[in-house]
A and B are shown apart, each in its own frame.
Chain A
């Protein structure tokens, strides 16, 4: 049986028995190569679930949709390792109760899809651990290397040109499972803390605020990068910040549901004399 079939069967069992109230997975999209998030609540609809190498979107953000988990019922969700890490962070940051989340884990290498064993988030710690061990020191991307070699002025110009394309549609924020704030700082308008204008300064403000807010929290699922309608290579910023955090604090985001948030915790014996 293919993984797709196995997971459909499991989804049917869970929904029929009432073990979960909903399965969040992938369905066919507009074109042959597209998949779209799909919400299944009836066991009769499980045939609509698709699982293949085009299932890229990290669906964990839907778990914190307002009201979804407030009835304490369980929800199942299709997740790749990055998505599982995101669930750990959401649990660690008290955004959800991991007990309510049933995971349909999978990973993709090339065109091959393989199932990840486990149901609850803590059962995937080996998978996540091996990602941490296997994480390359630098991104394998050419562009990343190129930016690293730039002088600060050149790098500034590079990002200036990229951010000039930003239209502040906030697709990066909305697609990000870590951007769960009910009211983002840029939407706080009494008073308006951050200018809404999408001009050079405004675009810089937004992208820098986001980069710092995600440091030590981003799981590099790539949702923001793919969502960006103007193709700003946001993944590079996040990757750079993740490297910094790993180097400075040996912190790999989303290792467990009890992992302390690296930039929101303080130890008495910290070598720094103050915190930001």
Chain B
């Protein structure tokens, strides 16, 4: 017997969570794009997606965020710090790759400086993940040693029952348990079996790729130029990526008053590493693509013992020129044979 949340109870759960002070967020299809967004009713949630176009990152690390407002006076500067306006939230229906992406970024945002924008949002969010029963050609979680029912980064894991009837509930963290107390009476004990999880073909040998990347001789390999020749240098892959986390701090305003903002930035852009002198240590697109791969599978794991990729496949799925991490690592797998 396992705890089951039946679909027809979900609207009541949403009601209950809302009255308990939670904002309920989940996958929705709006204005020709799927995202995670706040909902009023369970009916707005879209569970048929393989995964939303936009990643869950947006909820923790928005594309543009005010940090402080400032006024420069004759002898002083007044500042007014802006912190994220969040309260408790339940993100219902995250995908395992998105949830694990947030856990992957935790050590980065808490390393030498604790990023309070990130952690305030992390601490106030309960992530309720739904295991995947469908996958597409771009899904690659299994290649990253994860699975369509990985628990990493989730507070609750739901396993869908056959026929969209509901979900088996697995409570993973205290935060999850606490949030689900509010709906305890809406859950039922049942022997209903979970539907089989999606089959995601393994696309490359991660260990072999990492070993190849760690070999300093491969830094200047011609491979980088060949694999990235068609890259057009947009930031679509990095901005849709749940784990890409680079940002830029910009002041917007006039001479005396303005607002300091934290904006997404991307290693795909020529401007990303441009020095004030005009010199750019990554002056070509191939050097930029190499950086993205090296960062995710060599430097980041070197520092935090985890790869900076959760296998969602958005980079390849949305690439205007059909590039992406999958192809690059598949090719590296071949090179390392």
Contacts and interface: CB of A to CB of B under 8 A. Distances in A.
Given A170-B235, A230-B53, A230-B54, A197 B322 contact: no
Contact of A30 (B33, B54, B138, B261): B138
Contacts of B252: 195, 197
A202 B248 CA distance: 15
Nearest to B313: A30
A171 B236 contact: yes
A229 B264 CA distance: 15
A258 interface: no
A229 B63 contact: no
Interface in B203-249: 229-230, 232-236, 238-240, 248
Contact of B320 (A192, A226, A233): A226
Interface residues of B, number: 39
B322 A171 contact: no
B271 interface: yes
A189 interface: yes
A227 B31 contact: no
Given A169-B236, A189-B271, A198 B264 contact: yes
Contacts of A190: 276
Given A30-B137, A167-B239, A199-B64, A175 B232 contact: yes
Contacts of A229: 53, 236, 239-240, 318
A256 interface: no
Interface residues on A, range: 35 or more
B53 A169 contact: no
A199 B248 CA distance: 14
A30 B232 CA distance: 17
A34 interface: yes
A196 B263 contact: yes
Nearest to A31: B137
A235 interface: no
A210 interface: no
Contact of A170 (B31, B64, B137, B234): B234
B266 interface: yes
B316 interface: yes
B31 A57 contact: no
Contacts of A195: 250, 252
B222 to A, nearest CB: 12
Contacts of A120: none
Contacts of B261: 197
A8 interface: no
Contacts of B234: 169-171, 173-175, 227
B270 interface: yes
Interface stretch (A35-43, A81-89, A240-248): A35-43
Contacts of A165: 31, 33
A215 interface: no
Contacts of A148: none
B63 A167 contact: yes
B327 interface: yes
A16 interface: no
B32 interface: yes
B229 A39 contact: yes
Interface of B: 31-33, 53-54, 63-64, 137-138, 229-230, 232-236, 238-240, 248, 250, 252, 261, 263-264, 266, 269-271, 276, 316, 318, 320-324, 326-327
Interface of A: 29-31, 34-39, 57, 61-62, 161-162, 165, 167-171, 173-175, 187, 189-190, 192, 195-199, 202, 223, 226-227, 229-231, 233
Given A169-B235, A169-B239, 17 more contacts: A36-B321, A36-B323, A39-B230, A170-B235, A171-B235, A171-B320, A175-B232, A196-B250, A197-B64, A198-B63, A198-B263, A202-B64, A226-B320, A227-B234, A229-B318, A231-B33, A231-B53
